[in-house]
Protein backbone atom coordinates (compact mmCIF):
# COMPACT_ATOMS: atom_id res chain seq x y z
CA UNK A 1 0.00 0.00 0.00
CA UNK A 2 1.37 3.38 -0.99
CA UNK A 3 1.21 6.30 1.40
CA UNK A 4 -1.66 8.70 0.70
CA UNK A 5 -0.31 12.20 1.09
CA UNK A 6 -1.72 15.70 0.99
CA UNK A 7 1.00 18.34 1.24
CA UNK A 8 0.37 22.07 1.46
CA UNK A 9 2.82 24.49 -0.09
CA UNK A 10 2.22 27.85 1.59
CA UNK A 11 4.77 29.55 -0.69
CA UNK A 12 5.57 33.12 0.46
CA UNK A 13 2.25 33.65 2.24
CA UNK A 14 1.23 34.27 5.86
CA UNK A 15 3.16 36.29 8.41
CA UNK A 16 4.37 34.45 11.51
CA UNK A 17 1.23 34.74 13.60
CA UNK A 18 -1.07 34.04 10.63
CA UNK A 19 1.02 30.97 9.85
CA UNK A 20 0.76 29.64 13.38
CA UNK A 21 -3.00 30.17 13.36
CA UNK A 22 -3.27 28.24 10.10
CA UNK A 23 -1.08 25.43 11.43
CA UNK A 24 -3.06 25.00 14.62
CA UNK A 25 -6.37 25.11 12.72
CA UNK A 26 -5.13 22.37 10.39
CA UNK A 27 -3.96 20.22 13.30
CA UNK A 28 -7.28 20.66 15.14
CA UNK A 29 -9.46 19.83 12.14
CA UNK A 30 -7.28 16.85 11.21
CA UNK A 31 -7.50 15.50 14.75
CA UNK A 32 -11.28 15.95 14.86
CA UNK A 33 -12.22 14.82 11.36
CA UNK A 34 -9.60 12.92 9.40
CA UNK A 35 -10.21 9.22 9.84
CA UNK A 36 -8.41 7.91 6.79
CA UNK A 37 -4.83 6.87 6.86
CA UNK A 38 -3.57 10.06 5.20
CA UNK A 39 -0.28 11.84 5.80
CA UNK A 40 -0.83 15.61 5.94
CA UNK A 41 2.22 17.81 5.40
CA UNK A 42 2.46 21.58 5.87
CA UNK A 43 5.36 23.14 3.96
CA UNK A 44 5.69 26.54 5.58
CA UNK A 45 8.20 29.35 5.04
CA UNK A 46 11.50 28.74 6.88
CA UNK A 47 10.72 31.40 9.51
CA UNK A 48 7.65 29.49 10.68
CA UNK A 49 9.06 26.01 10.48
CA UNK A 50 10.22 25.39 14.06
CA UNK A 51 6.93 26.50 15.58
CA UNK A 52 4.78 24.79 12.95
CA UNK A 53 6.71 21.58 13.70
CA UNK A 54 5.81 21.98 17.39
CA UNK A 55 2.14 22.38 16.46
CA UNK A 56 2.33 19.28 14.28
CA UNK A 57 3.44 17.22 17.26
CA UNK A 58 -0.16 17.47 18.45
CA UNK A 59 -1.23 15.11 15.67
CA UNK A 60 0.13 11.76 14.52
CA UNK A 61 -1.05 12.53 10.97
CA UNK A 62 0.49 15.98 10.48
CA UNK A 63 4.10 16.56 9.49
CA UNK A 64 6.04 19.58 8.29
CA UNK A 65 8.35 20.34 5.43
CA UNK A 66 10.44 23.17 4.03
CA UNK A 67 9.95 24.57 0.53
CA UNK A 68 13.59 24.52 -0.55
CA UNK A 69 17.13 23.93 0.74
CA UNK A 70 20.74 24.55 -0.22
CA UNK A 71 22.83 22.09 -2.19
CA UNK A 72 25.69 22.80 0.23
CA UNK A 73 25.95 21.14 3.62
CA UNK A 74 27.14 24.28 5.45
CA UNK A 75 29.46 27.26 5.11
CA UNK A 76 29.67 30.69 3.55
CA UNK A 77 26.35 30.75 1.69
CA UNK A 78 24.65 33.86 3.02
CA UNK A 79 20.90 33.57 3.24
CA UNK A 80 20.76 29.85 2.45
CA UNK A 81 19.29 27.15 4.65
CA UNK A 82 20.83 23.69 4.97
CA UNK A 83 19.29 20.24 5.18
CA UNK A 84 20.62 19.88 8.72
CA UNK A 85 18.97 23.14 9.83
CA UNK A 86 15.64 21.99 8.45
CA UNK A 87 15.92 18.60 10.08
CA UNK A 88 17.02 20.11 13.40
CA UNK A 89 13.71 21.97 13.90
CA UNK A 90 11.64 18.82 13.45
CA UNK A 91 10.75 18.95 9.77
CA UNK A 92 10.68 15.64 7.93
CA UNK A 93 10.09 16.73 4.34
CA UNK A 94 11.48 19.25 1.88
CA UNK A 95 10.02 20.34 -1.45
CA UNK A 96 12.74 20.26 -4.12
CA UNK A 97 12.54 21.53 -7.66
CA UNK A 98 9.25 23.41 -7.51
CA UNK A 99 8.64 24.99 -10.91
CA UNK A 100 8.69 28.48 -9.36
CA UNK A 101 12.21 27.84 -8.06
CA UNK A 102 13.27 26.33 -11.36
CA UNK A 103 11.92 29.39 -13.18
CA UNK A 104 12.80 32.31 -10.87
CA UNK A 105 16.03 30.92 -9.39
CA UNK A 106 17.26 28.91 -12.37
CA UNK A 107 17.49 25.68 -10.40
CA UNK A 108 18.82 22.89 -12.59
CA UNK A 109 18.29 19.14 -12.56
CA UNK A 110 21.95 18.75 -11.62
CA UNK A 111 21.69 21.07 -8.59
CA UNK A 112 18.53 19.27 -7.55
CA UNK A 113 20.34 15.91 -7.67
CA UNK A 114 22.81 17.30 -5.10
CA UNK A 115 20.00 18.58 -2.89
CA UNK A 116 18.23 15.24 -3.07
CA UNK A 117 21.43 13.53 -1.87
CA UNK A 118 21.96 15.95 1.00
CA UNK A 119 18.33 15.70 2.09
CA UNK A 120 18.47 11.91 2.14
CA UNK A 121 21.80 11.89 3.99
CA UNK A 122 20.33 13.98 6.78
CA UNK A 123 17.07 12.01 6.90
CA UNK A 124 14.68 14.37 5.13
CA UNK A 125 12.20 13.04 2.58
CA UNK A 126 12.27 15.09 -0.63
CA UNK A 127 9.00 15.98 -2.31
CA UNK A 128 10.48 16.16 -5.77
CA UNK A 129 8.54 18.32 -8.22
CA UNK A 130 8.46 17.74 -11.95
CA UNK A 131 6.20 19.00 -14.70
CA UNK A 132 6.04 20.56 -18.12
CA UNK A 133 5.13 23.99 -19.47
CA UNK A 134 2.13 24.55 -21.73
CA UNK A 135 4.44 24.88 -24.71
CA UNK A 136 5.96 21.45 -24.07
CA UNK A 137 2.54 19.87 -23.57
CA UNK A 138 1.27 21.38 -26.81
CA UNK A 139 4.29 19.96 -28.61
CA UNK A 140 3.39 16.49 -27.30
CA UNK A 141 6.74 16.01 -25.55
CA UNK A 142 5.52 16.20 -21.94
CA UNK A 143 6.33 12.62 -20.99
CA UNK A 144 9.90 12.70 -22.26
CA UNK A 145 10.44 16.11 -20.62
CA UNK A 146 9.26 14.90 -17.21
CA UNK A 147 11.18 11.63 -17.54
CA UNK A 148 14.34 13.61 -18.26
CA UNK A 149 13.83 15.63 -15.05
CA UNK A 150 13.54 12.36 -13.13
CA UNK A 151 16.55 10.81 -14.85
CA UNK A 152 18.86 13.74 -14.21
CA UNK A 153 17.89 14.31 -10.58
CA UNK A 154 16.88 10.90 -9.24
CA UNK A 155 18.19 8.01 -11.30
CA UNK A 156 21.55 7.88 -9.51
CA UNK A 157 19.74 6.80 -6.32
CA UNK A 158 19.65 3.25 -4.96
CA UNK A 159 16.43 1.26 -4.69
CA UNK A 160 16.27 2.04 -0.96
CA UNK A 161 16.82 5.74 -1.52
CA UNK A 162 14.24 6.23 -4.28
CA UNK A 163 11.55 4.85 -1.96
CA UNK A 164 12.12 7.81 0.35
CA UNK A 165 11.20 10.25 -2.41
CA UNK A 166 7.69 11.57 -2.90
CA UNK A 167 7.16 12.69 -6.48
CA UNK A 168 4.87 15.64 -7.23
CA UNK A 169 3.75 15.95 -10.83
CA UNK A 170 2.82 19.59 -11.32
CA UNK A 171 2.03 20.71 -14.86
CA UNK A 172 3.20 24.33 -14.86
CA UNK A 173 0.16 25.42 -16.86
CA UNK A 174 -2.08 24.28 -14.00
CA UNK A 175 -0.24 25.91 -11.08
CA UNK A 176 -2.07 28.88 -9.61
CA UNK A 177 -4.03 29.31 -12.83
CA UNK A 178 -7.31 27.73 -11.78
CA UNK A 179 -6.84 25.35 -14.72
CA UNK A 180 -6.61 21.80 -13.37
CA UNK A 181 -5.33 18.90 -15.43
CA UNK A 182 -8.22 16.55 -16.11
CA UNK A 183 -8.18 13.45 -13.97
CA UNK A 184 -7.34 11.46 -17.13
CA UNK A 185 -4.40 13.74 -17.98
CA UNK A 186 -3.12 13.37 -14.40
CA UNK A 187 -3.56 9.59 -14.46
CA UNK A 188 -1.83 9.25 -17.83
CA UNK A 189 1.23 11.16 -16.65
CA UNK A 190 1.34 9.45 -13.25
CA UNK A 191 1.21 6.06 -14.95
CA UNK A 192 3.97 7.11 -17.35
CA UNK A 193 6.09 8.23 -14.39
CA UNK A 194 5.49 4.98 -12.53
CA UNK A 195 6.33 2.89 -15.62
CA UNK A 196 9.49 4.91 -16.09
CA UNK A 197 10.48 4.40 -12.43
CA UNK A 198 9.75 0.69 -12.83
CA UNK A 199 12.12 0.53 -15.80
CA UNK A 200 14.94 1.84 -13.66
CA UNK A 201 14.17 0.50 -10.17
CA UNK A 202 11.79 -2.42 -10.79
CA UNK A 203 8.01 -2.63 -10.56
CA UNK A 204 7.94 -3.55 -6.89
CA UNK A 205 9.88 -0.41 -5.96
CA UNK A 206 7.89 1.82 -8.33
CA UNK A 207 4.64 0.57 -6.80
CA UNK A 208 5.76 1.86 -3.40
CA UNK A 209 6.47 5.45 -4.49
CA UNK A 210 3.74 8.02 -3.85
CA UNK A 211 3.11 10.30 -6.82
CA UNK A 212 1.15 13.46 -5.98
CA UNK A 213 -0.69 15.71 -8.39
CA UNK A 214 -0.30 19.49 -8.06
CA UNK A 215 -2.00 22.30 -9.94
CA UNK A 216 -5.18 24.09 -8.85
CA UNK A 217 -6.38 21.12 -6.78
CA UNK A 218 -9.36 22.10 -4.62
CA UNK A 219 -11.99 20.45 -2.42
CA UNK A 220 -14.33 20.15 -5.41
CA UNK A 221 -11.92 18.38 -7.79
CA UNK A 222 -9.75 16.40 -5.37
CA UNK A 223 -12.06 13.38 -5.15
CA UNK A 224 -11.96 12.73 -8.86
CA UNK A 225 -8.19 13.25 -9.06
CA UNK A 226 -7.48 11.01 -6.05
CA UNK A 227 -9.73 8.27 -7.44
CA UNK A 228 -7.21 7.65 -10.23
CA UNK A 229 -5.16 4.51 -9.60
CA UNK A 230 -1.76 6.21 -9.86
CA UNK A 231 -2.64 9.47 -8.11
CA UNK A 232 -1.63 9.07 -4.47
CA UNK A 233 -2.54 12.53 -3.25
CA UNK A 234 -1.79 16.16 -3.92
CA UNK A 235 0.63 19.02 -3.51
CA UNK A 236 -1.66 21.93 -2.81
CA UNK A 237 -0.78 25.62 -3.18
CA UNK A 238 -3.60 28.17 -2.92
CA UNK A 239 -6.09 25.87 -1.24
CA UNK A 240 -3.61 25.01 1.53
CA UNK A 241 -3.90 28.55 2.89
CA UNK A 242 -7.39 27.88 4.27
CA UNK A 243 -7.40 25.15 6.90
CA UNK A 244 -10.93 24.00 6.06
CA UNK A 245 -10.27 23.67 2.32
CA UNK A 246 -6.95 21.95 2.89
CA UNK A 247 -8.35 19.33 5.24
CA UNK A 248 -11.38 18.78 2.98
CA UNK A 249 -8.88 17.89 0.24
CA UNK A 250 -7.17 15.45 2.64
CA UNK A 251 -10.60 13.89 3.30
CA UNK A 252 -11.16 13.32 -0.44
CA UNK A 253 -9.62 9.83 -0.76
C1 LIG B 1 1.93 24.49 -6.15
O2 LIG B 1 2.45 25.58 -6.27
O3 LIG B 1 2.61 23.53 -5.75
C4 LIG B 1 0.51 24.37 -6.49
C5 LIG B 1 0.03 23.21 -6.78
O6 LIG B 1 -0.22 25.55 -6.48
P7 LIG B 1 -1.81 25.71 -6.74
O8 LIG B 1 -2.49 24.59 -5.98
O9 LIG B 1 -2.15 27.04 -6.19
O10 LIG B 1 -2.02 25.58 -8.21
* 126 in contact with ligand 1, CB cutoff 6 A: no
* Best mutation site among 134, 217, 241, 249 for ligand 1 pocket (most ligand atoms within 8 Å of CB): 217
- Give me the pLDDT at residue 179, please: 83
142 in catalytic set? no
- Give me the pLDDT at residue 206, please: 98
* 8 in contact with ligand 1, CB cutoff 6 A: no
Helix runs in 43-133, H state only: 46-56, 83-88, 99-104, 109-122
pTM value is 0.97
Q: Measuring CA to CA, which residue among 113, 46, 111, 29 is closest to residue 81? A: 46
H-helix or E-strand containing 42? strand 38-43
Q: Residue 103, SS3?
A: helix
- Give me the pLDDT at residue 22, please: 98
170 in catalytic set? yes
* pLDDT mean by block of 10 residues, the chain; 253 residues: 96 98 98 94 98 97 98 98 98 98 97 98 98 95 98 98 98 89 96 98 98 96 97 98 98 97
Which domains does the chain carry? Answer: 5-251 (3.20.20.70)
- Give me the pLDDT at residue 209, please: 98
- Give me the pLDDT at residue 19, please: 98
Q: How far is the CA of 76 from the centre of ligand 1 (A)?
A: 32
Amino acid sequence: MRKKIVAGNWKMNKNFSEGLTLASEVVNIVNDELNDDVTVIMCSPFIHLAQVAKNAQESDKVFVGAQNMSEHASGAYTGDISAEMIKSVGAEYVILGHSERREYHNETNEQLAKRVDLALEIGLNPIFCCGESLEIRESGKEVSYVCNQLTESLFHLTEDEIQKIVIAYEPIWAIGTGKTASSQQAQDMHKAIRDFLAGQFGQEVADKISILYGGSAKPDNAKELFAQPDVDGGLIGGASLKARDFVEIAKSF
